[in-house]
Structures are given as C-alpha cells and as structure tokens.
Structure 1
C-alpha cells in the first residue's frame, strides 16, 4: 500500500481510539514497519494534522481534527516527502539538476561514479539500467530525465514550470520530441552512423536533417518553446540545444543560438554549471 493511500487509513484508525494507541499496534494494523509509521505521522504533522504523542502510551487524534483534512492531498503529501537526486556531474543528470534548482525545493544530491557505484546492488534497485539521473521522492522512483522533469513540474505546481492542462500541447510535444527523435538522431550522428533511406523509415528519429529543421522551426523567434512562460520543456530542450552546440552534435544555427542565449544565464542553470566546473577541476 502506498503512503498516499495509507495516510487516510491511519487517520481513520486513530479516530476509532479514545485513548492513546501505541505505534507498534498501529504499525501492525497497517502491515508496515514501525519506522514507516513514524514517517507517516511526520508527513501528517507536516501538512498540519495535529497528532498528539502521549509519552509511553502512544498517539491520540484530537476530536477537533477534520477528516479528511483539506491539507491531505496528494500534492501536499508529495511535497513533504524526502527528495533524493542521483547524478554524476558529467551526465544527463545536469538536466534534472537545473530543474531542481528552478523549483527551489530541498533535495539531497547523491553523486555516483561511473562503473562501481552506478552498478552497485543498492543503486540497481533504484535504476536497473545502472544509469543516472534518477530521483526517489518518498516511495516513488522516477528515471529518465524528461520523465523526471515532467514529474517534478507536477509534483511542485507552485513553481509554475508546467502550463495549465488545457495549454500543454506544445509542452508535451517538444519535451518528448527532444527525448525521442532529437536524442536518437543526435546520438547516431555523434557516432558517425548515417542510416540509409530504408533504415530512416524504420527509425523513430527518421532523418537527422529533418529533426534539426523541425527543432529550429519550433524555437525560431521564440523565447520559450511551450508558450509565453518558462517551463520544464525549456529546461529539457534547452539543455539538449546548449550541449548539442557545445559538443557539435547540433549545428550552431541562428535559431538555436538565439533560443539558448535566453536560457543559459538563468541563475538556476548557472548554479548547476558551477557544480560541473568544480567536478572538472577535480
């Protein structure tokens, strides 16, 4: 049972007791370890639910507590959970690092090394691919940079990094265009692989030139790719364009240079760049 589903059940259980009930009894009834119960109670308190601890006796829920409490929504629970970010300074984790800095929320950064630590049993339990980035948010694990950016924008809506649902056409289109056709085409290009006409028909990325032309048209004359406001799509697409021009997997077209110029000096991205430079210095 997920934490989001457990919390209302825990509150209903507490409501049935007039006297303090021990943590051990609550944990047993929920079928969870006592440590998990402590975390659940901490989450409830963090969203404003008054649970009283009676030393040596257990927990009491005052009759005045409203059930279900208005604060006990999935976004509120998600925001109170610990956020752990697994990365390497010289990896696609830089995309997620930028996204996290734009959000301005607390997170714990775990830097892994290529090889040993990325393929340790502990990390393979997070991402069986043995790659970064990945995040653990409470009980949720998300891998793949585009998916992480989309998830974080929804998990922390107050940051305003996703358009309203009714205006997400371009947001989803270009976020996943960069994750799909652009990533594949640029990778093949960097490896010197030039698919023939028949192979291009079988590839989701199709023709490299067509991919580049499509992306250039999408950012031409635009400050942001998904509307009038900066979004997670700009973090992801902008990262690919900036790195692509730096490492010559994308051409330095005027459309790309103009778009990237409007993003590269954002304070959140500059903070991440310092992290990279410190890693290179070491």
Structure 2
C-alpha cells in the first residue's frame, strides 16, 4: 500500500477512536511496520494535522483537529507508482536494499541471477550494462547505486534521508567521492595496479593512499558523513567502508571502524544482512 493510500486510511482509523490507540495496533491494522507508521504520523504532523501522543497509551486525534490538505486525500502519481528493485544478494544491490529499508516504503524485489537473466532482453531494456542494482519507479528507471540512493532520498522526502538543499555540500561531496575516486582506486588497488605519477595525473581517482587519507579525514570523529543526521550518503559511504574492511579492499583504520560501528547495527541494515546470509547458505 502506497503512502498516499495509507495516510487517509490512518486518519480514518484515528477518527474512529475516542481514546488513545497504540502505535502497534495502528501498524498491525494497516499492515505496515511500526517504523513506517512513525514516518506516516510525522508526515501528517508536518502538514498541520494535530495527532496527539499520550505517553504509554498511544495516539489520539482531537475532534478539533484540522483536516489535511486535499493533496493527501488522493494518491499522487509519484507516490502511487510501483517501485521495483532489481538485485542479486551478492552484489552492490545491497546498498540500495539498505536504502529502501531505511525509507520504509513498499517495493517489489526482483532477484536476478548472474549470466542469463541479467542479460535477457527484458532486463537489458532496463539496464543495457546487464548489471544490478536498478530500480523502476513508475515509468522512471534509475541505475548505479549512488544515483539510486540520491534519487530515492528525493523521491521520498518524508523519510528525511537527504539534508535541506542549503546543506547538501558534504552530502553530495562524499556520496559521489565514494562512487567515483574511492571505488575506482580501491578496485585498481585490489587488482594490483599501482599507477605511476603520470598515470595518477590522468586518473580521476589519483592514488589509493591519497583517497584513503581523504576518506579517513572525512569520517574521523563523526557519527554521520553529512551533518548531524543519518542520510543516503551514510548508506553509500558506510556500505563501502563496511564491505571494504570485511573483504580487505580497505584498511581497518580506527576512523573507519568507529564510523562503521555507528551504522552497522541499524535495523534496516540488519534486515538486508539477513537477506545476504540466507543467500550464502543456499
């Protein structure tokens, strides 16, 4: 059920109760996780709907509460479009999977096998590279994990996974630093290629040691990479740091370990980790 459909239904349920109703009961009745309910309530409050929280009891909608604007009464095209996620559990799709779980929005997961299915005509129409991840959101197709994370953060602003436009300097900088110089330098280094001085000038990634020092300085002493709140940049940068240390493509520096320790136990990431572990046992 899309958020545009859930919000009017949630309001109708709250109007039905004179006494506070628990978040768990509301989430169960709507068939959604409790984390999604919290986000829906935050959206309604943000547009002026007075939903009162009674500590230890639940939520109540006062009789005097104003109705939401008409835009919330009917599904919009953006919110009602189906979101399809193409992935493989042992791929960079894990980054997008984590992002989707942080959003808490409905999506359809399509697992593709390496080889034939990723190179089928149907999927090549989605991504001519024959690689995952990719998403289709209504008629819109987005590939490349960093681009997908940035798109999803903007497509679902109620999740709060992108800073305000006036504060996106570090957000864009480190999101695409990880997608560009970091990934290129780490890949070249893992293949045993050490560029000479002339080659480093021609490569956008420069040399591996310089990239690592820049990234270590960026996360040193910081809980989040782009300000005081968790964002899509943490999903992307954190994934590269976590997996890089696990598989030996990045060094286990104290700066990386401290930053990753603050991210790896997030419920959304743990859910994706279970998906990966199940794939490894099959």
Using structure 1 for the length normalisation, give the TM-score: 0.74
Q: CA deviation at 1:80?
A: 1.3
2:210 alignment partner in structure 1: 210
Q: CA separation in 2, counterparts of 1:201 and 1:257?
A: 30
- Name 2:172's counterpart in structure 1: 172
1:178-217 paired onto structure 2 within 5 Å = 178-217=178-217
Cα drift, residue 76 of structure 1: 4.0
> 1:144: which partner in 2?
144
Give 1:79 deviation, angstroms: 1.7
Deviation string, structure 1 residues 9-28 (Cα, Å, up to 9, x no partner) = xxxxxxxxxxxxxxxxxxxx
Residue of structure 2 in register with 1:46 after alignment: none
Deviations 1:55-98 (A, max 9, x none): xxxxxxxxxxxxxx9529xx942121000000000000000000
CA deviations 1:190-230 (Å, max 9, x no partner) are: 11111111000000000110000000000000000000000
Which residue of 2 is the match for residue 25 of structure 1?
none
Larger Rg computed on CA atoms:
1
Q: How far does the alpha carbon of each residue in 1:26-66 deviate from its partner, in whole angstroms, 9 at most, with x for none?
A: xxxxxxxxxxxxxxxxxxxxxxxxxxxxxxxxxxxxxxxxx
Residue pairs, 1:17-96, within 5 angstroms: 71=71, 76-96=76-96
Matched, 1:107 2:117: no
Name the CA distance, whole Å, in 2 between partners of 1:257 and 1:124: 38
Residues paired across the two proteins, number: 212
**Partners in 2 of 1:280 and 1:203 — Cα distance?**
35
Aligned equivalents of 2:76, 2:254: Cα separation in 1: 43
Q: For structure 2, list consecutive stretches of 5 or more residues without a partner in the other structure.
A: 1-68
| Counterpart residue number, 2:276 | 276
Q: TM-score, normalised by structure 2?
A: 0.74
| RMSD (Å) for aligned C-alpha atoms | 1.3
Distance in 2 of aligned mates of 1:241 and 1:91? 15
Runs of 4+ aligned structure 1 residues displaced above 4 Å come to none
Alignment partner, residue 120 of structure 2: 120
| 1:82-130 Cα deviation digits (max 9, x unpaired) | 0000000000000000000000000000000000000000000000000
Q: Can you give the 5+ residue segments of structure 1 that lack an aligned partner in the other structure?
A: 1-68
The equivalent residue for 1:225 is: 225
Q: Which residue of 1 aligns with 2:30?
A: none
1:37 alignment partner in structure 2 = none
